[in-house]
A = this chain, B = another copy of it.
Amino acid sequence: MSDIPLLPNHQSGPKKLTPEQENQQLKKIIRELGLKVTQQRMDILRIVKAGDRHFTAQDIFEAVSETNTSIGFATVYRFLKALSAKAFVTEVRMGGMPARYEWSSQEHHDHLTCTVCGKVVEFENDEIEKLQEEVAKSLGFVLTDHILELFGVCSSSHCQKVYKSAPES
């Protein structure tokens, strides 16, 4: 878990926007949440939308802090919670580690994480999704959500070496 590679966000989508256009976009989102437009929310949202694909509250806090030295952690958490409540961002909580967030504009997908280097690969598998529905239905449930996280060792020689020399499982 030394370094965690960060995937760029929003590979596709609308291209060049003037700063003013971008601001209008951000304000629109904040108003859709029924919240007032504040500098903090603009800062957070700008980073969430333009930054790395996967991030933690800590990541956002640090990024915003470079500009706004007085941003509070509570503000970051509060706004991320508001964004995920309206599904603008997806929050994933696993184990004892900090929650991971990502902008939800993308297609649904699950994650495969390298337990050695922390690399995260996204994938999407319709068959698995369909089977999940079937499982739930066969048990009389209406499926509303799911968490699928795969863990393994990536193909990098370093990780493979560590894996093969591991004491045991």
Measuring CB to CB, which residues of chain A are less than 8 angstroms from any residue of chain B? 93-96, 112, 114-115, 121, 123, 125, 127-128, 131-132, 135-136, 139-155, 160, 163, 169
Contacting pair A139 B127 (CB below 8 A)? no
Contacting pair B148 A136 (CB below 8 A)? no
Closest Cβ of chain B to A167, distance in Å, is 12
Contacting pair A136 B149 (CB below 8 A)? no
Contacting pair A152 B147 (CB below 8 A)? no
Asked whether A131 and B125 contact (CB < 8 A) given A147-B147, A148-B148, A152-B145, the answer is: yes
Contacting pair A112 B139 (CB below 8 A)? yes
Complex alpha-carbon distance, A148 and B145, angstroms: 11
